[in-house]
Amino acid sequence: MTESNGLALARDKMTEVGVPTQAIEAFTRLYHELERGAAGTISEADVRPLEDVPVRDELDVPDDVAQEAFAATAVIKLNGGLGTSMGIDRAKSLLPVRGDDTFLDLIAGQVLAARERHGVRLPLVLMNSFRTREDTLAALERYPDLAVEGVPADFLQNREPKLRADDLTPVEWAADPELEWCPPGHGDLYVALVASGVLAALRDAGFRYASVSNADNLGAFPDPRMAGWFAGTGAGFAAEVAQRTPADRKGGHLVVRASDGRLVLRETAQVANEDKEAAGDIARHRFFNTNNLWLDLDRLAALLDEHDGVLPLPLIRNDKTVDPTDASSTPVVQVETAMGAAIELFDDAAVVEVDRTRFLPVKTTNDLLLLRSDVYEVRDDSTVHALTPEPFVDLDPAHFKTLREFDARFPAGPPSLVLAESLVVRGDWTFGVAVSAVGAASLADPGEPAQVADDATVGADGVVEPLEKTEVPDELDFTEPGEVQPQHAARSQDPVDDQPTDQPTDEPVDA
């Protein structure tokens, strides 16, 4: 079957399930690039490093400017993710992260608190998928005050067929027809905003700007200072970036296109093999994309009109299997785009450096343990703040990868991590009540299921059994004359080189 027939079959399949015309045309554009053999790579020879980035904490934004911009700002959260990497089959935003509070609870709390404090409307709009919409909207019923007149609570992300790798026809998978579909990546944001009518609704309701971020990143809370900075730049698009560490070598990062000086987002999948060393050089390419974006909605609407509702975002080709849990299933190609890639379409695009307090994504149970632990506190405005430098956590994926496995091994909640530099667990360990990790805490694989006892401490040499209360009198002073009490050794933000990374820009929004 010819490639053109493959495209016709794909378009028919999308039409049959009601995919909007703009989304079909966006898919068609990418399909043609596949036919031409495009891999979507961005050569190191064609770019130069991003430098001279303003720092958020050094911005001079007058209060009245911040207030005016914030009053014209909407919050958009990408909420299509199912948390499949943790074995979750519902919206990740409904996962409890602090006590009974879910991501969605804390996001709603952040928005409502910001409204009350600053006297603004600040609508919250979710980009859901077909698989997250029903549960999410039901959960939002607990917050009737979130509704803003004239602004929908959500809009739907689109979907597209997975393509057979051998002939680019839509794959068929009778065992689970849902697996025949995939999300188009979060670059679908722009098509979905137009096709749903939400872009027009926001502008009609008087909103000029939008803050966009992932629902699993509680660090990206509504920020009037950032809104004021963005409005003051006059830019149509801005990205929040952060300093890369060795753990971020494989993540999406921003570069400058040598031919025209425009900012460009280069994802891991867009790096050719011969450029991997240069792209991973964090001293050369210093900033990664946090996926926290700022949009001028008027400028975006004009750009979309110019391109008939389909922005020419760069292709990201993802080669996978139709069943991601079965490596022997049919090889497929997924065509995707990244929402951050729109930065290259604006000649005045801006960037701002933020610290990692605005980048707290939860992609794995390692991240979840940190967020649930005493390293973080949730304040009255539902914002999340670290009390100590974040320790490095690496739980054995053979026993802690899925949420079910993770919760079974922390039945009493997470251990204390405020005195930890790191926590590395190998093997099948279950943690008791009031466990503490101290320093470079490590548990070796005992070869069989094992228990960390209640009140125990985990250190560099494993478990230290809890001492009886009578053995350590409260008044005993361990400090020698002139000796300073030991302090918590703050963990560097640079995890060891061989640890994996999970950048938000590398994980497509789940359909």
Residues 233 and 162 in one domain: yes
Would you say 83 is a known binding-site residue?
no
Same domain? For 261 and 301 the reply is yes
> Quick one: 266 and 338 in the same domain?
yes
276 is in an annotated binding site: no
Q: Identify whether 205 is part of a domain.
A: yes
Distance from C-alpha of 344 to C-alpha of 44, rounded to nearest angstrom = 16
User: Residue 80 annotated as binding?
Assistant: no
Tell me if residue 441 falls in helix, strand or coil.
strand
Distance from C-alpha of 317 to C-alpha of 201, rounded to nearest angstrom: 33
Backbone angles phi, psi at 245, to 5 degrees: -120, 175
Domain membership of residue 429 (yes or no) is yes
User: Based on the domain organization, do 329 and 417 belong to the same domain?
Assistant: no
pTM attached to this predicted model? 0.88
Determine if residue 234 is left, alpha or beta; phi over 0 gives left, psi from -120 to 50 gives alpha, anything else beta: left
Q: Where are the beta strands (DSSP E) in 244-315?
A: 253-257, 263-266, 287-296
**Is 281 among the annotated ligand-binding positions?**
no
Domain membership of residue 103 (yes or no) is: yes
Q: Which domain holds residue 327?
A: 3-363+500-506
Residue 359 sits in the same domain as residue 466: no
Structural domain contains residue 269: yes
How many C-beta neighbours within 10 Å does residue 111 have?
24
The answer to whether the CB of 81 falls within 8 A of the CB of 92 is yes
pLDDT band with cut points at 50, 70 and 90 for residue 165:
very high
Could you tell me if 396 and 338 lie in one domain? no
Q: Residues 354, 405: one domain?
A: no
- 359 and 395 housed in the same domain: no
Does residue 479 sit within a domain? no
Token representation of residue 328: 């022997």
Report yes or no on 375 lying in a domain: no
- Give the side-chain half-sphere CA count within 13 A for 77: 30
Residue 290 backbone phi and psi in degrees, to 5: -80, -10
On whether both 109 and 241 belong to a single domain, the answer is: yes
CATH number, domain containing residue 22: 3.90.550.10
8 Å CB contact between 102 and 368: no
Number of H helices, E strands in the chain: 13, 26
- 351 in the same domain as 248: yes
Residue 157 annotated as binding site: yes
Q: What pLDDT digit, counting tens, does each position of 417-467 carry?
A: 999 999 999 999 999 999 999 999 999 999 999 999 999 999 999 998 764
Query: Residue 326 is encoded by which pair of tokens?
Result: 């079965």
pLDDT at position 249 = 73
pLDDT tens, residue by residue, 10-62:
999 999 999 999 999 999 999 999 999 877 789 999 999 999 999 999 999 99
Cα angle 252, 294, 110 (rounded to 5 degrees) comes to: 100
Q: Would you say residue 330 lies in a domain?
A: yes
Q: Is the pLDDT of residue 215 over 70?
A: yes
Query: What is the average per-residue pLDDT within 372-383?
Result: 97
Identify the CA nearest to 420 among candidates 445, 457, 379, 466: 457
Percent of residues, the chain, with pLDDT higher than 90: 81
Is the pLDDT reported for residue 496 higher than 70? no
Distance CA 118, CA 71 (A): 8
- 363 a known binding residue? yes
In total, how many domains does the chain have?
2
109 and 253 both lie in a single domain: yes
Residue 114 maps to a domain: yes
* CATH classification of the domain holding 419: 2.160.10.10
Q: How confident is the model at residue 242 (pLDDT cuts 50, 70, 90)?
A: very high
Are residues 111 and 249 located together in one domain of the fold? Answer: yes
